[in-house]
Amino acid sequence: MIANYENKELDPEILQRKMDIILDMEEDLIFILNKSGLITKVNVNGALTLEYKEEDLLNRHIIDLIASKYKVETMKAFHDIIEGKPERAFEASFYTYRGNEILFGINAKSFYIDDKMAEIVLIGKNITHLREVTEEIENLRMKLIEANRLISIERQRVNQRKSLLEELNKAKSDFVANISHELRTPLASIIGFSETIDSDPDMPDEMKAEFNSTILQEGKRLARLINDILDISKLEGGGIEIANFKFNIILMLNEVIDTYIKSAQAKNITLSREIPEGEIVIDADRERISQTIGRLLNNAIKFTDDKGRIKVIAKNLFNEIEIIISDTGIGIPETDLPYIFQKFYRVNRPGTEIPGTGLGLVFVKQIIDLHKGFITVQSEVGKGTTFAIKLPKNHI
Ligand code: ADP
């Protein structure tokens, strides 16, 4: 029944119907609460979203519908409004009839009649999907950060591998250059001297003998070099077997040193020894150990100037024998020391042309390793170098 108002627009019943239409058309959740928080009005779509009929929600306390995690925040918002704050925004999850949670972004506003707060209007926007999308974006952002981190690690690794490959390539081409030079030099002597002998049938016998001896020496040098290369590739392929025989290492050491007396004398180098008398029997590969000591002696002579000194010391320790080869030669810079046992590594000494391949110490280290021994080096540029080997008397 419509009351008789002059201006029908102001008729409360008409106003109420208008408001109902607006409320019913509204997609968002709309609640009108009384001062104590009881629901006095809810729009149809809002109730539907929460899986209720409108009438089932009326007179229920709003807090009963809010998920526990959001109750405190909601109470605070109401408190603020009751204390006079005209408007308050907050987020809260509502339980649906079937117990699911829907997250709403809520705007609460107080409604005053005669300066007294009469009601609170809540408008809630369903932001569950928005939150899911935000979370998904955050997830993706974290994954992106992680992916970028992995990419940068991988890039670093690739760069490292690249520079390692470049280093290896450089070492290999240095090696090829060195080895070609090393092979060509004795070969040139052999060919040169044999041609001279061949082209001069009247050559005096002494000269012929001298040339022949040079050819023999250079031939041996060539053979040594080829053996080095073969040894290294065998060692690398794991194809070297260590023979084990008991032998007197004192005898072996003296024999090796004796073979280097001549080349030391040729450079006016004093080659001395401090080796115990008698016998120290060890179980090892005599041939390989003898080659190893020989290589170290050869280096000592090669890298020691005229009038220098080389000393070989042997010490009989409890389970081991220690062999020290020390020279007063040119020494090894501290920065090169960590690398001298690496394949093809040669100390760069501009202006000096000392031949070599950078393989000798690789062989030495591998043989000592195969005997479960240790090799260490100490050196000072201009003062000399000391290699110390500790070999177990029985490594098996
Ligand atoms: P190379 O065939 O060049 O002699 P090695 O593997 O025997 O190769 O030695 C590696 C490098 O270590 C040499 O190029 C040399 O510079 C340095 N070196 C080895 N022994 C000595 C030494 N007794 N004194 C000075 N430098 C040495």
> Tell me: the pLDDT tens digits for 50-105?
999 999 999 999 999 999 999 999 999 999 998 989 899 999 999 999 999 999 99
Q: Which of 178, 182, 299 to mutate to test the pocket of ligand 1 (most atoms within 8 A of CB)?
A: 299
375 lines ligand 1 (CB under 6 A): no
| Atom 8 of ligand 1, nearest CA residue | 358
Q: Does 35 have pLDDT greater than 80?
A: yes
Q: Average pLDDT for residues 384-392, to the nearest whole number?
A: 97
Distance 289 CA to ligand 1 centre (A): 18
346 lines ligand 1 (CB under 6 A): yes
275 lines ligand 1 (CB under 6 A): no
Q: Does 23 have pLDDT greater than 90?
A: no
299 lines ligand 1 (CB under 6 A): yes
361 lines ligand 1 (CB under 6 A): yes
Q: Does 150 have pLDDT greater than 60?
A: yes
Q: Which of 293, 334, 335, 340 to mutate to test the pocket of ligand 1 (most atoms within 8 A of CB)?
A: 340
| pLDDT attached to residue 294 | 96
Q: Average pLDDT for residues 229-237, to the nearest whole number?
A: 75
Distance 111 CA to ligand 1 centre (A): 95
Q: Average pLDDT for residues 295-302, to the nearest whole number?
A: 95
Distance 347 CA to ligand 1 centre (A): 7
Kind of pairing, strands 101-113 and 39-42? unpaired
147 or 175, which is more confident: 147
Q: Does 338 have pLDDT greater than 80?
A: yes
3-state secondary structure the chain: CCCCCCCHHHCHHHHHHHHHHHHHHCCCEEEEEECCCEEEEECHHHHHHCCCCHHHHCCCEHHHHECHHHHHHHHHHHHHHHCCCCEEEEEEEEECCCCCEEEEEEEEEEEEECCEEEEEEEEEEECHHHHHHHHHHHHHHHHHHHHHHHHHHHHHHHHHHHHHHHHHHHHHHHHHHHHHHHHHHHHHHHHHHHHHHHHCCCCCHHHHHHHHHHHHHHHHHHHHHHHHHHHHHHHHCCCCCCCCEEEEHHHHHHHHHHHHHHHHHHCCCEEEEECCCCCCEEEECHHHHHHHHHHHHHHHHHCCCCCCEEEEEEEECCCEEEEEEEECCCCCCCCCHHHCCCCCCCCCCCCCCCCCCCCHHHHHHHHHHHCCCEEEEEEECCCEEEEEEEEECECC
| pLDDT attached to residue 148 | 95
332 lines ligand 1 (CB under 6 A): yes
Q: Measuring CA to CA, which residue among 219, 293, 204, 202 is closest to residue 250?
A: 293
| pLDDT band, very low/low/confident/very high, at 240 (cuts 50, 70, 90) | confident
| pLDDT attached to residue 239 | 67
Distance 240 CA to ligand 1 centre (A): 23
Q: Does 2 have pLDDT greater than 60?
A: no
| pLDDT attached to residue 6 | 63
340 lines ligand 1 (CB under 6 A): yes
The mean predicted confidence, pLDDT, of the chain is: 90
329 lines ligand 1 (CB under 6 A): yes
| Atom 25 of ligand 1, nearest CA residue | 331
How far apart are alpha carbons 334 and 336 in whole angstroms?
5
190 lines ligand 1 (CB under 6 A): no
| pLDDT attached to residue 354 | 73
What percent of the chain shows pLDDT beyond 90? 67
| pLDDT attached to residue 68 | 94
Lowest-confidence pick of 4-13, 284-293, 386-395: 4-13
| Atom 13 of ligand 1, nearest CA residue | 346
| pLDDT attached to residue 172 | 78
| pLDDT attached to residue 173 | 80
Q: Which range has highest mean pLDDT (163-177, 224-238, 315-329)?
A: 315-329
Q: Average pLDDT for residues 7-20, to the nearest whole number?
A: 81
| pLDDT attached to residue 346 | 81
| pLDDT band, very low/low/confident/very high, at 243 (cuts 50, 70, 90) | confident
pTM score: 0.54
Record the tokens describing residue 216, joined without a space.
């023999």
| pLDDT attached to residue 119 | 92
| pLDDT band, very low/low/confident/very high, at 314 (cuts 50, 70, 90) | very high
8 or 4, which is more confident: 8
Lowest-confidence pick of 17-26, 41-50, 332-341: 17-26
Distance 358 CA to ligand 1 centre (A): 7
229 or 88, which is more confident: 88
Q: Which of 221, 263, 296, 303 to mutate to test the pocket of ligand 1 (most atoms within 8 A of CB)?
A: 303
